[in-house]
Structure 1
């Protein structure tokens, strides 16, 4: 399996500005050519690290999550990556090796390595190797349920999870699910979706879940709110709730992407004080 990882750098002064970046009220496409040195951000508490922030809550658009690509040079890392105690996260490694210390145990995540980090978990990261490490970090404020225990942290990998074919597709469309979709303890899923050449989503999905989709491998054509958009490995798509979406795999090999969605919560119509929901005081989920 291969996982596209941005290399940074800057284009030459003689190159054309034309690219595929687009921002609409329903979706955003950040193509891989945008992920250059000049748009990186430093993160508090991290050493020898830079990041590309792909998504963050924006009023009127997508409000449930943040997604970053984090690049750690040898010797870099963070003793306390997550500064907000109520925030859960998923780490997915695309290049190099990332050492994750979780509740006193040491785990080395190589490309395809996956860690779910529960809200309030004690964890740290480090690059103990000789090559640069890159990983996706998806963060969400965890929304507890009174009668359901919160999920525990765990470490696994893409290779350890068998893709589950969608019914009636003959394996042309499959999803690698890292948690049980019926487990109400989890309020977000970060999965890997795989389409074989010619595989399609055969209808325009229109649903309440927000999405972050990072293309790990291959290329395809996405239908986003009525527009056909070509995407390839390294591109990021960011979809607000109810954005119509469908796609087909358009290359000679598999088309795979890392997919975030918020799940398993009732729609909240009041804020915690009992008034009408509004602003950032109340989530879309209860």
Structure 2
């Protein structure tokens, strides 16, 4: 919920560069009335209107909040993903019930609807994603995946021990995307500025840093959301005393379209 009338000038750290990149800070988020979500604060972060090929959401489910009747995603060509930022939620998918706490996640393959319910005594917060699945001829279809990021071993990123990555989904060509968690020790950074065809939607879970976006260095911190479009230069340094960590999507395992 938002506070009342401010006691200072209106200001924002958010930056929108249509089709290139965006930094969206939590202070400017508004509630979107999305059919099926009851007793929830739903903010749509990325969408094709911004230039993304996917849709990202940050959803606060108040006590008793849910989408039990209508569900989320589920179209025949749409895949979806949920990550629990805080709290505890119950998810029903493919007629199976799962309970997830902080760090828990579920990937639903195309055609699978996700029913979400807050089972925490207080609020719960989830990061949601959906996109159209890109089928690969002769390849098996993706399957439902569940897990908790806290149970996954960190791997050094590009041989840099101060920067580590977790893969949340199988590295299998059945999947046309993956979700990762990238973690930086204080003072650590990318070994080089990346420039690539993949796009990202990233939600910062902890820490503070400065992010290179299209060769502009931008301060970022916990609770911020970053959209990075194709070929936009990108790299990060962690600053402050805490580790910087974010969960993000990446399209993969497919050739570029003509």
Which residue of structure 1 lines up, in the alignment, with residue 220 of structure 2?
A: 231
Q: Does the alignment pair 1:147 with 2:141?
A: no
Matches within 5 A, 1:19-168: 19-25=12-18, 26-35=20-29, 39-58=30-49, 62-79=51-68, 80-168=71-159
How many residue pairs get aligned? The number is: 255
Query: What is the deviation of 1:111?
Result: 1.0
Aligned CA RMSD, in angstroms, stands at 1.6
Partner Cα separation in structure 1 for residue 114 and residue 247 of structure 2: 23
Which residue of structure 2 lines up, in the alignment, with residue 280 of structure 1?
A: none
Partner Cα separation in structure 1 for residue 238 and residue 184 of structure 2: 6
Query: What is the deviation of 1:32?
Result: 2.4
> Which TM-score applies when normalising by structure 2?
0.93
Q: Does the alignment pair 1:267 with 2:256?
A: yes
Matches within 5 A, 1:208-227: 208-227=197-216
Match of 2:237 among 236, 248, 266: 248
Unmatched segments (≥5 aa) in structure 2 = none
Match of 1:176 among 166, 170, 180: 166
Partner Cα separation in structure 1 for residue 213 and residue 119 of structure 2: 41
- Shift in CA distance, 77/199, structure 1 to aligned 2, threshold 3 Å: same
Deviations 1:138-192 (A, max 9, x none): 11111111211111112101111111112331x21111101233x1111111111
Partner Cα separation in structure 1 for residue 62 and residue 116 of structure 2: 12
Partner Cα separation in structure 1 for residue 67 and residue 247 of structure 2: 24
From the CA coordinates, give the structure whose radius of gyration is larger.
Answer: 1
Partner Cα separation in structure 1 for residue 45 and residue 242 of structure 2: 26
Q: Does the alignment pair 1:15 with 2:5?
A: no
Which residue of structure 2 lines up, in the alignment, with residue 201 of structure 1?
A: 190
- SS in structure 2 at match of 1:206: coil
Of the structure 1 ranges 83-92 and 9-18, higher mean CA displacement relative to structure 2 is found in: 9-18
- SS in structure 2 at match of 1:130: coil
| Structure 2 contact 158–191 (Cα < 8 Å) conserved | no
> Which TM-score applies when normalising by structure 1?
0.84
| Structure 1 contact 43–49 (Cα < 8 Å) conserved | no
